C-alpha cells in the first residue's frame, strides 16, 4: 500500500473543535434506547433511494456496546484521508473522485451455504436491527490509526436472516465495481472487485459491525457508502467498503491484498504489534493529527473480546 504520513494532511482539512463538538452533541442528543429507528433527525423515515439520503443525512441511533472513550478523530480527517483504491491511491483522491458515486438503488446478495438466500435492498437491511453508535479504534496496516463513531449493527444480525448451514465455515465479501464510475481503478495495481473474507466465528462475533454511517450521518461515499464492514481488531483493509455480495462458503475465500502480496498481507491480519510487516514494524502507530507515536495494542485493544477466537493458533504463521 502507498504510504502517506498524517503530516501530509493540509491544516484546512482538520475540523475546528467547535464543529466537532457540535457533531458530538448532536449524536448524544439523539441517542435513545429501544425500537429500531431508521429516521432522519426530524423523525421522518429514511428511504435510501431518496435524495435526502446523502452524506450529511442524520441518523437516529442507540448507544451500542464496546465503545472506547478515547478522543474521537475529527470528522474531516476521517473523510479526507482514505484508502479506497477504486477511487484512486492517494489518500485525498476518494473524497473528490467518489463524489458522484451512485449508491442508490443498492442491493446486497447474501447467498451460498445458507437455507434462505436473499437479495436485500439497503432499506430492508437498515431495518433488521436498531442502528447503534460504536466508537471503535481503527488501525491501518500502514501505521496510522483513527477513532471513529461508526453507525451500524452487528454483521451477525444480517447473517442470521439467511440461516447459515453447518457447511458455512467462512464468509466471502465482494465490493461493487464499475469501471465507468471508477475509471482510475485501473491504475491501482490491485484487481477488482475488491474481495475480503472472515472465518465464520469472526463474522458472527458481536464486535464485527455492518456499518452504514459515521458521526451521526450516513456514510460519505469515500468511507464506503452505503454499506461497509468494520472489523476493529483487524488491520483496516479487512473492513471492505461498498459491499454488494456476501457468500457463505466452506473454504477460506480469496482476499484482495492477500492475493496481491501474500507474504505481506495474511488472510487473518489481526492487529499484532509482535508480528512486523516484512517492510516495517507494527509495534507503534500514529493517530491522525497527533505528533508522537503510541504503542499498538494486541488485537488493537480488543483482546478481551476476541483473543479466544485464536486460542492455540500460531499467530506468526496465521498472520
Ligand atoms: N474497500 C474497498 N472496496 N476498496 C479499498 O481500497 N481499502 C481498505 C478498506 N476497505 C479498501 C476497502 C483499506 S486499506 C483501509 S485502511 C480501509 O478501507 C480504510 O477505511 P477508511 O478510508 O474509511 O478509513
H or E element in which residue 26 lies: helix 17-30
Tally of CA atoms within 13 A in the half-sphere of 177 that contains its CB: 16
Which protein residue has the closest C-alpha to ligand 1 atom 19? Answer: 83
Query: How much is the pLDDT for 263?
Result: 96
Rounded to a whole number, what is the distance in angstroms from the first to the last CA of the chain? Answer: 17
Cα 38 versus chain centre, distance: 20
Between the CA of residue 296 and those of 94, 235, 300, what are the distances in Å? 27, 11, 7
Q: Is the dihedral of CA 22, 23, 24, 28 positive or negative?
A: positive
* 87 Cβ inside 6 Å of ligand 1: no
* 140 Cβ inside 6 Å of ligand 1: yes
Q: How far is the CA of 82 from the centre of ligand 1 (A)?
A: 7
Q: How far is the CA of 84 from the centre of ligand 1 (A)?
A: 5
Q: To the nearest 5 percent, what fractions of the chain are helix, strand and coil?
A: 25, 25, 50
Q: How far is the CA of 224 from the centre of ligand 1 (A)?
A: 8
Contacts of 318 (CB under 8 A, 6+ apart): 266, 267, 268, 310
* 256 Cβ inside 6 Å of ligand 1: no
Between the CA of residue 153 and those of 24, 58, 109, 158, 242, what are the distances in Å? 20, 16, 18, 9, 16
In three-state secondary structure terms, 173 is strand
Backbone angles phi, psi at 194, to 5 degrees: -65, 135
Rg (CA), the chain: 18
Tens-place pLDDT, residues 232-261? 999 999 999 999 999 999 999 999 999 999
Tally of CA atoms within 13 A in the half-sphere of 306 that contains its CB: 25
Q: What one-character DSSP code corresponds to residue 64?
A: P
Joined together, the cell numbers standing for residue 118 give 436473499
- The parts of the chain modelled with pLDDT lower than 50 are 3-37, 49-52
Cα 269 from Cα 288, distance rounded (Å): 21
Cα 290 from Cα 34, distance rounded (Å): 37
Joined together, the cell numbers standing for residue 277 give 510487516
Asked if 62 contacts 35 with a C-beta cutoff of 8 angstroms, the reply is: no
- Domains in the chain, CATH or no CATH each: 64-309 (3.90.420.10)
Which protein residue has the closest C-alpha to ligand 1 atom 12? Answer: 240
Please calculate the CA angle 209-192-150 and round it to the nearest 5 degrees: 20
Prediction pTM value? 0.86
Q: Is the dihedral of CA 90, 94, 96, 101 positive or negative?
A: positive
On the question of a cis peptide bond just before residue 226, with omega within 30 degrees of 0, the verdict is yes
Contacts of 13 (CB under 8 A, 6+ apart): 76, 77, 80, 81, 92
Query: How much is the pLDDT for 168?
Result: 98
Cα 262 from Cα 28, distance rounded (Å): 42
Which conformational region is residue 203 in: left (phi greater than 0), alpha (psi within -120 to 50 degrees), or beta? alpha
Amino acid at each position: 500500500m502507498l504510504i502517506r504520513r498524517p503530516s501530509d494532511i493540509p491544516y484546512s482539512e482538520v475540523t475546528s473543535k467547535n464543529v466537532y463538538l457540535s457533531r458530538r452533541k448532536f449524536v448524544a442528543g439523539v441517542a435513545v434506547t429501544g425500537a429500531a429507528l431508521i429516521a432522519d433527525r426530524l423523525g421522518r423515515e429514511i428511504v435510501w433511494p431518496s435524495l435526502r439520503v446523502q452524506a450529511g443525512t442524520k441518523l437516529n441511533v442507540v448507544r451500542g456496546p464496546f465503545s472506547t472513550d478515547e478522543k474521537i478523530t475529527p470528522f474531516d480527517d476521517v473523510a479526507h484521508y482514505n484508502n479506497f483504491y477504486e477511487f484512486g491511491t492517494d489518500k485525498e483522491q476518494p473524497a473528490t473522485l467518489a463524489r458522484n458515486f451512485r449508491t442508490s438503488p443498492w442491493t446486497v446478495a447474501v447467498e451460498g451455504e445458507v437455507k434462505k438466500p436473499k437479495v436485500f435492498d439497503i432499506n430492508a437491511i437498515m431495518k433488521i436491527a436498531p442502528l447503534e453508535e460504536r466508537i471503535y479504534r481503527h488501525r491501518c496496516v500502514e501505521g496510522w490509526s483513527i477513532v471513529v463513531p461508526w453507525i451500524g449493527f452487528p454483521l451477525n444480525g444480517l447473517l442470521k436472516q439467511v440461516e447459515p448451514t453447518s457447511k458455512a465455515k467462512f464468509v466471502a465479501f465482494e465490493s461493487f465495481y464499475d469501471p465507468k464510475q471508477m475509471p482510475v481503478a485501473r491504475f491501482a495495481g490491485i484487481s477488482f472487485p475488491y474481495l475480503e473474507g472472515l472465518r465464520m466465528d469472526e463474522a458472527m462475533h458481536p464486535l464485527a459491525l455492518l456499518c452504514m454511517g459515521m458521526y451521526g450521518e450516513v456514510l460519505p461515499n469515500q468511507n464506503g457508502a452505503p454499506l461497509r464492514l468494520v472489523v476493529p481488531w483487524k488491520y483496516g483493509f479487512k473492513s471492505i467498503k461498498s459491499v454488494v455480495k456476501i457468500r457463505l462458503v466452506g473454504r477460506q475465500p480469496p482476499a484482495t491484498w492477500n492475493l496481491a502480496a501474500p507474504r505481506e498481507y495474511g488472510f487473518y491480519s489481526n492487529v499484532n504489534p509482535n508480528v512486523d510487516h516484512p517492510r516495517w514494524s507494527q509495534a507503534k502507530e500514529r493517530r491522525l493529527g497527533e505528533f508522537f507515536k503510541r504503542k499498538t495494542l494486541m488485537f488493537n485493544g480488543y483482546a478481551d473480546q476476541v483473543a479466544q477466537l485464536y486460542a492455540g493458533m500460531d499467530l506468526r504463521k496465521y498472520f
